[in-house]
Amino acid sequence: MGMGSRPASTSTGGEKKGEERVLSHGDVVLIRSDLAILRGPRFINDRIIAFYFAHLSAGLGDDLLLLPPSIPYLLSNLPDPASVAAIAEPLRLASRRLVLLPVNDNPDASVPEGGSHWTLLVLDNTTSPSGPRFVHHDSIRGAPKLPVASHLADALRPLLLQSDSRRRGAVPVVEGPTPRQPNGYDCGVYVMAIARAICGWWKSGHGGHRGEDWFEAVRTEVDADSVKAMRGELLQLITTLIQDKANASSTSEGNKTSNTD
């Protein structure tokens, strides 16, 4: 863990009581302390990842799904397959080409900030003619959190290939190439940077061709420098969205005033 940092959020925490809201974006509400986290060096929390995944999702279509951290965390901690199936059914995971699932290692859902590491698990149905696979991206050398991602894959595996029970166990988890973080706090930023690279690869049309994957895009676009810059880019994005909402609100109020004159 890095100096001056704190554990990653657990994907269960909501808005902190009494904190000033700075931006509502879709279903995500960012608060003032989230901006301080981005200024670093601090662990990224689930609100920031959920915000950025919602931003990346715009215009992607139904074949690529980016889930907020709360959903994978919930699916990993449900008590039985029937509960997993009930929660996952609206997500239509088996029909997607790609599903991006942020994974947090918090072992206790009752502890609001108990996790200490983020990784990215990708449900990939774009490359293999024999069926889907899970690809795990972990920015710490040695893949220490593969068991956490594997637990999520185990929960989801029965939902895939249900028409052929002989193949249900044939959805492997493989380690994807992942640049290594040089510090103890940027794992969440790596998750977002890898997600951005995957979405860019998808938008460029490569995702429509069987036999290709996004690995080269990750190798080319994600490194320590791009991850360091991403914190500032996210702050600028949030500032721009806040200003856009303020301008839209001012315009709306001006129109109301004009109509009452």
Q: For the segment 216-259, what is each residue's pLDDT rounded down to a tens digit?
A: 999 999 999 999 999 999 999 999 999 998 888 766 555 555 55
Q: Which of 67-76, 105-114, 246-255 has maximum average pLDDT?
A: 67-76
Chain mean position to CA 23: 19
Closest CA to 134 of 83, 75, 187: 75
What is the C-alpha separation between 231 and 225, in angstroms, rounded? 11
**Type and span of the H or E element at 2:** none
What is the C-alpha separation between 141 and 152, in angstroms, rounded? 20
The residues spanned by each domain of the chain are 32-206+213-236
> Could you tell me the CATH superfamily of domain 32-206+213-236?
Adenoviral Proteinase; Chain A (3.40.395.10)
5-14 pLDDT, tens digit per residue, is 445 555 444 5
